[in-house]
Amino acid sequence: MANVRVAGTGLTPFGNSPERTGRDLFAEASIEAFEDSDVPRDDVEGVLYGNFMGEIAEHQGHQGPLMAEAAGVQAPATRFESACASSGAAVREAVKRIRTGENDVLLVGGAERMTNLGTAGATEALAIAADDLWEVRAGTTFPGAYALMAQAYFDAFGGDREDLAHIAVKNHANALDNEKAQYQRAIEVDDVLEAPPVSEPLGLYDACPISDGASALVLTSEDYAAEHDLEAPVAITGTGQGGDRMALHDREHLARSPAAREAAGEAYVDADIDAGDVDVAEVHDCFTIAEVLALEALDLEPIGEGISAARDGRTTADGELPVNLSGGLKAKGHPVGATGASQIAEITMLLAGTHPNSDHVADATTGITHNAGGTVASAMVHVLEVVA
């Protein structure tokens, strides 16, 4: 099956920009992606845009056409919503459209404006990605939900808060040289352990921040890339999607992510690789425990052993399999609608040698992204490879 080339990537800095609108953010990311790609806007046949809380944060629905206009594109546009996996879903749809020959050039990405809501408002807005009837009305927020998952993991497989702290320390270290990251500062294990508790066993440094930001990708067919002599050596060669029950109490096991496992299995088969071929990964670490669950669901770590991967150095920048060299959601930031496409941009730059952390993966040819919605009731996984 034909590969889909990543012709251009664009990212705004992730961070605290309450005065900026979603359309302003997406316009900036799109400008960067078009400049990176050398693809003219007139060649774009569609815009696929991820956004989760636009109606709440900006009183704005029907954002697809709005964002196409902001990007300077006149083409059919669609908004995708799958909670924090919204732009991951947009990327998956774009891959399928290009593969079937429906389109040759698509602008794909996402944005979220969150900090203008304040901490309480953003927490309430994010909570609607959980089951309103059985979780939200009972007062459950995502820190609480992931705390339940963390405790379930500890009970089933062992581990403790210090193991999780090493994940936070690793991802902050990875973000130091990433100019697009929200937190470009180092932390120590003691900083994590001594931080205020959020929901036991998770503390302040176990959680990703509330963020504003946007991401954009110019994706093309191989034929278009060849015909226009594009410098696009990285392709999306595999895509997968998985799902799970929405509410935690309906799940068989709180310390597993079957949606991510299903998505990864599909993506590996699609790309004709297995987990052992992966050289670098960007996974959805909205909380430190989420990185552990992702590593195990993607078969990058055996079940019950992902908890020690950062502490033992297996997933650090110079480890066997570097994970979240961007800083991850934990330190780079998590403007939820932008995250999935942002992960694709980060892996593309890492494999192409244009990322500030590319030196750590100089020989890498295969990367993977894992983008999750809610408590991983939805998951998108993509495989990227150097193909030329």
DSSP string, 293-344: HHHHHTTSS-TTTGGGTTTTTSSSTTSSS-B-TT-HHHHH---GGGHHHHHH
- Answer whether residue 135 is part of any domain: no
Q: Which domain holds residue 244?
A: 4-118+209-386
29 and 11 Cβ atoms separated by less than 8 Å: yes
Count CB atoms within 10 A of the CB of residue 179.
Answer: 9
208 catalytic residue (yes or no): no
The distance from CA 346 to its chain's CA centroid, rounded to whole angstroms, is: 9
Per annotation, catalytic residue among 334, 355, 370, 382: 334
- Residue 123 falls inside a structural domain: no
What are the residues facing 238 on neighbouring strands?
383
What span, in angstroms and rounded, lies between the C-alpha atoms of 321 and 5? Answer: 24
Give yes or no for a contact between 315 and 321, defined as CB atoms under 8 angstroms apart: yes
Asked if residue 129 belongs to a domain, the reply is no
Task: Please count the structural domains in the chain.
Answer: 1
What pLDDT is stored for residue 1 in this prediction? 60
Q: What is the pLDDT of residue 297?
A: 98
**Is 354 inside any structural domain?**
yes
Handedness of CA 149, 152, 156, 162 (dihedral sign): positive
Strands 378-386 and 366-373 turn out to be: antiparallel
CATH of residue 266: 3.40.47.10
Bridge partner residues of 342 (DSSP): none
Cα separation, 335 vs 381, in Å, equals: 18
On whether residue 346 sits in a domain, the answer given is yes
Mean pLDDT by 10 residues, the chain (388 residues): 91 97 98 98 98 97 98 98 98 98 98 97 95 94 97 98 98 98 98 97 98 98 97 97 96 95 98 98 98 98 98 98 98 98 98 98 98 98 95
| Torsion from C-alpha of 351, 353, 359, 362, nearest 10 degrees | 50
d(CA 330, CA 95): 27
